[in-house]
Amino acid sequence: MEVDRMLGSAIHPHLRYRDESVPKTSCRSMAGPLPASSILAMRSSLSEPQSEKRMFILGMGFVGQFLSYKLQCQGWTVSGTCTSHMKKKKLEDRGFHIYHLDALEPELSILDHMKHYTHLLVSIPPIAGIGDPMLQHERLLRSSLVNGNLRWLCYLSSTSVYGDCGGELVDEDYPPNPTSELAKLRLASEEGWSNLAHYLGISPYIFRLGGIYGPGRSAIETIIKQDPLSEAQKRRKYRKYTSRVHVEDICQAIMAAANSLSLGKVYNIVDEDPAPREQVSEYARKLVENKWPGLITQQAEEIEWSNVTSNKRGEKRVCNARMKEQLGVQLAYPDYTTGLQSILDKMEAPYVQS
């Protein structure tokens, strides 16, 4: 789930967004770094967090960063990990206490810091041939966290664990049947983090996310940049159903669960419209062409589709009823049309001259 990109204009050097499209640290502008004195004071306080709501995020990627800014604005203490020293520096400049984490060789001293937090969000994907990088050290996790302050745990998984369901409507009670290696590792990670949570006396939340999109990571940016399609994107061409969800709605669901008194469960976090990728791409193209006529100069996607064979693996329609009924989530972006329009509306210009 972790995506090694920054938010807003930092996601891509050629895209610029209006300020309201980018969450703000401590409800302040992100135009520049915090003063050194403020950062030192913040780091000092984070060494032994005092607030009642303290979130540690394993994997400060696309979702983790959006969530962090929102939590800070609500008075939470937030810390986390990232895989890049450059990202670590940028996040620290914006007021977060960040630990560098090499997924292949985790720095286990991080566990000493995690035990001070009340909430743990796991947003690190499994690694092919390895599995979940943190669960390799489950015994250490147990011994370190068992006497800590943790009382809430949420693992961000994927709807890929359901496998190919022949287009059926899938709810959380549908038996998972993953087909790809990574989907099988996802399911194993769900079980591993659930077991850890139960050992600690916590009822875990498992969030099975659809395809994640938002400002800087959507069909709008793909069309504007006109980059070649990835192999994964090509394979999704012939799917009749593709579940997706806007990052804002993921954050809304996480925050609802974090503030809930209910027991943790498995939740599908998706929107209302599992539309095929080709349909979404065509809509994004029309939005861009209407706003900036003449910007799109090539039909890269249509050319690349000619070499793709039909692949209907993974067909399913994912039901989000439990999320809405039990977490009280009212989707800000119930379908791709509202989500993509919002992203485009907040873009000031498609390119910025350096």
HEC states along the chain?
A: CCCCCCCHHHCCCCCEECHHHCCCHHHCCCCCCCCHHHHHHHHHHHHCCCCCCEEEEECCCHHHHHHHHHHHHCCCEEEEEECCHHHHHHHHHCCCEEEECCCCCCCCCHHHHHCCCCEEEECCCCECCCECCCHHHHHHHHHHHCCCCCCEEEEEEEHHHHCCCCCCEECCCCCCCCCCHHHHHHHHHHHHHHHHHHHCCCCCEEEEECEEEECCECHHHHHHHCCCCCHHHHHHHHCCCCCEEEHHHHHHHHHHHHCCCCCCCEEEECCCCCCCHHHHHHHHHHHHHHHCCCCCCCCHHHHHHCCCCCCCCCCCEECCHHHHHHCCCCCCCCCHHHHHHHHHHCEEECCCCC
Mean pLDDT of 81-104: 87
Confidence class of residue 84 from pLDDT cuts 50, 70 and 90? confident
- In the predicted model, is pLDDT for residue 185 greater than 90? yes
Which amino acid is residue 148, in one-letter code?
Answer: G
Q: How far apart are CA 165 and CA 167, in angstroms?
A: 5
By percentage, how much of the chain surpasses pLDDT 70? 76
**Statement: residue 269 has pLDDT above 70:** yes
Q: Would you identify the CATH topology of the domain 8-213+246-270+318-333?
A: Rossmann fold (3.40.50)
Highest mean pLDDT among 85-89, 95-99, 140-144, 251-255: 251-255
Q: Is the pLDDT of residue 197 over 70?
A: yes
The answer to whether the CB of 158 falls within 8 A of the CB of 269 is no
φ, ψ dihedrals at 210, nearest 5°: -80, -170
**pTM, full prediction:** 0.83
Whether the Cβ atoms of residue 293 and residue 231 lie closer than 8 Å to each other: no
Mean pLDDT of the 326-332 span: 96
Q: What is the mean pLDDT of residues 19-36?
A: 42
Single-letter amino acid, residue 295: L
The pLDDT score that the predictor gives to residue 204 is 97
Q: What is the mean pLDDT of the chain?
A: 81
The rounded Cα 57 to chain-centroid distance in angstroms is 11
Using CA atoms, how far apart are residues 143 and 148, in angstroms rounded to an integer? 9
Structural tokens at position 205: 């939340």
pLDDT given for residue 127 in this prediction: 92
Rounded distance between C-alpha atoms, residue 250 and residue 156, angstroms? 10
For residues 49-68, give the mean pLDDT: 89
Predicted local confidence at residue 314, as pLDDT = 55
Please state the separation of Cα 79 from the chain's center in Å: 16
Q: What percent of the chain clears pLDDT 90, i.e. is strictly above it?
A: 58
What is the spatial distance between Cα 55 and Cα 304, in angstroms, rounded to a whole number? Answer: 43
Residue 219 CA to residue 184 CA, distance in Å, equals: 27
Strands 205-209 and 119-122: unpaired
For residues 30-41, average pLDDT: 40
Residue 198 tokens, joined: 């139960």
Q: pLDDT grade, residue 11 (50/70/90)?
A: very low
Confidence at residue 117, expressed as pLDDT on a 0 to 100 scale: 96
Nearest residue to 215 (alpha-carbon basis) of 348, 98, 71, 82:
348
Q: CA 7 to CA 20: how far, in whole Å?
A: 12
Task: Among 131-140, 141-150, 298-307, 327-336, name the one with the lowest average pLDDT.
Answer: 298-307
Q: Is 220 within 8 Å of 340 (Cβ atoms)?
A: yes
Q: Which of 228-232, 294-298, 332-336 has the lowest mean pLDDT?
A: 228-232
